[in-house]
Structure 1
Amino acid sequence: MNEVTTTGQSVEDAVNQALLTLGAEKENVEVEIIDEGKKGVFGLFGAKPAVVRVRVKEDPAEQVMAYLRNIMEKMGVTPKLQLSENDRIMKINIIGDNLPMLIGKRGQTLNALQFLAQLAANHRVPHYAKVMLDVGDYREKREASLVQLAERLAAQVIRTKRKVKLEPMPSFERKIIHSALTKNKNVTTYSEGTEPNRYVVVDLAKH
């Protein structure tokens, strides 16, 4: 039970009764006053009880994870989700079976799930700046792969004197490419295109 409607001689009495019924603390509930009631003449005649509806506040992070579980269950996967929160970032790690299908080609499925989780968080938890979704250590491996790709393409651009356009990727992956080549004074990187088809260009630096 996470919601109850109760009555009392006053709003405070009705709320206290609801808290007892729900087994909750006042700071963890939302109170809706339906009727403030009346004391009546001499406290008896014309008296009317106060009526309140009290709901237990849902953990917003758990709401986001429940949303993700629902999507993944429809995909035929029932994984476990591990949550960690730090500096306005919600990190969710997916653990279980059939995980490759949640990653998809070059992480496209995982990125789509992360995008949906971000939308859910923006709606339910406005104070979260970012949601990061991972499967095992996929993100770490993907970052290492992107850094190697960036270095290889930079060498190609320097050798051929021709710029290279990468495939479209989400902003946080483009940032990895940009960061990997920041110290390389022989090349420059920039993004072109519009979301979701924005991509990185590696070009010769102008001296």
Structure 2
Amino acid sequence: MYKTYTEKTVNDAVAKGLAELKVTEDDIKIEVLDSGSSGFLGFGKRPAEVKLTVINPELKTYETIEALINRVEKDVKTKVPSQSTEEAIEETESRERVSQKAEDLEENSHEEVEEKDDLSHSEKNHPIEQAAKDTEAYISSIVLDMGIEHTTKMTVKKNNIDINFDAKLAAKIIGKRGQTLNALQVLAQNYFNSIYRSYGQVIIDVGDYRAKRKETLEILALNMADKVRRTEERVKLEPMPNFERKIMHNALSREPGIETYSEGKEPNRYLVITKK
């Protein structure tokens, strides 16, 4: 699902498209079809043309580009919002509750490490398979507390523990741009660290959301790199977890004339893209 836009410059064409589609640059893939030309003495002048392709899975549920453009106007006219006020409040409260619990665990992580050092030798050497099962049960109980019925599938490969959720209300587990899912992952990782002495990485997923999110971040990284080249100004992205910043770092590692680095403190650390 895409639409092309023409304007005097590429930036103007992109801005025009973003405004009409009511999206942000991380919802779309930007392709410059023609960078345009100011011509010479009025001759050979032509507008810039860009193609904006929707990549946000939620927005791709609209059947046509016209339905996407008219989505807010349609909701207002019919007075039937896509999500009830109660559902929106419930989702926000669930996300905030999980996020707060994750932040509390992050803040107390040093105390937890000290307490863990007081455990017996046998407890600190909890087998990774058992630690993974306990972590699966723990994070599953939190999602149940959110009022979401689900099943989980857990696999252990070397030091990687993957816990995948299957639920009708998968969107509530994911949250806006994966915020709730990321908070759950922090909870799971901290819990796992408290019962397993050696290194292990816990990944929480719902369906194939992580793979789709990775693709979205890689496209966003390329979009922003092109924007840096066009404007010659650095771009600061919104705060995101370390593993998502790493995806974007890797996506741009071989882009000519582009460099990336992170600024800020967790959990508000963000990626910066600039020219070399």
TM-score normalised to the size of structure 2? Answer: 0.53
Q: Is the 8 Å Cα contact of residues 90 and 128 (structure 1) preserved in structure 2?
A: no
* Greater C-alpha Rg: 1
Q: Residues 53-80 of structure 1, C-alpha deviation per residue, up to 9 Å, x if partnerless?
A: xxxxx92222111111111111001211
Q: Is the 8 Å Cα contact of residues 69 and 78 (structure 1) preserved in structure 2?
A: no
Structure 1 residue aligned with 2:248, among 160, 177, 193? 177
Q: Which SS does the other structure have where 1:121 is aligned?
A: helix
The 5 A counterparts of 1:6-17 are none
**Inter-partner Cα distance in structure 1 for 2:147 and 2:199:** 29
**Pairwise CA distance, 1:125:** 2.1
**Inter-partner Cα distance in structure 1 for 2:205 and 2:196:** 19
Match of 1:93, as an amino acid? Answer: N
Matched, 1:74 2:145: yes
The 5 A counterparts of 1:73-112 are 73-112=144-183
Structure 2 residue aligned with 1:127, among 190, 193, 198? 198
Q: Is the 8 Å Cα contact of residues 164 and 205 (structure 2) preserved in structure 1?
A: yes
What RMSD over aligned residues (CA atoms) do the two structures have, in Å? 1.3
Q: Which SS does the other structure have where 2:268 is aligned?
A: coil
Matched, 1:168 2:239: yes
Q: Which SS does the other structure have where 2:274 is aligned?
A: strand
Unaligned runs of 5+ in 2: 1-121, 123-128
Q: Is the 8 Å Cα contact of residues 150 and 177 (structure 1) preserved in structure 2?
A: yes
- Count how many residue pairs are aligned between Structure 1 and Structure 2: 149
Structure 2 residue aligned with 1:155, among 209, 218, 226? 226
The structure carrying a bigger helix percent of its residues is 2
Q: Which SS does the other structure have where 2:204 is aligned?
A: strand
Structure 2 residue aligned with 1:189, among 247, 257, 260? 260
TM-score normalised to the size of structure 1? Answer: 0.70
**Inter-partner Cα distance in structure 2 for 1:151 and 1:107:** 20
Matched, 1:198 2:263: no
Percent identity reads 46
Over 4 Å off, 4+ runs: none
Match of 1:170, as an amino acid? Answer: P
**Inter-partner Cα distance in structure 2 for 1:117 and 1:76:** 18
Q: Which SS does the other structure have where 1:94 is aligned?
A: strand
Q: Is the 8 Å Cα contact of residues 221 and 251 (structure 2) preserved in structure 1?
A: yes
**Inter-partner Cα distance in structure 2 for 1:70 and 1:159:** 49
**Inter-partner Cα distance in structure 2 for 1:127 and 1:78:** 32
Q: Is the 8 Å Cα contact of residues 89 and 128 (structure 1) preserved in structure 2?
A: no
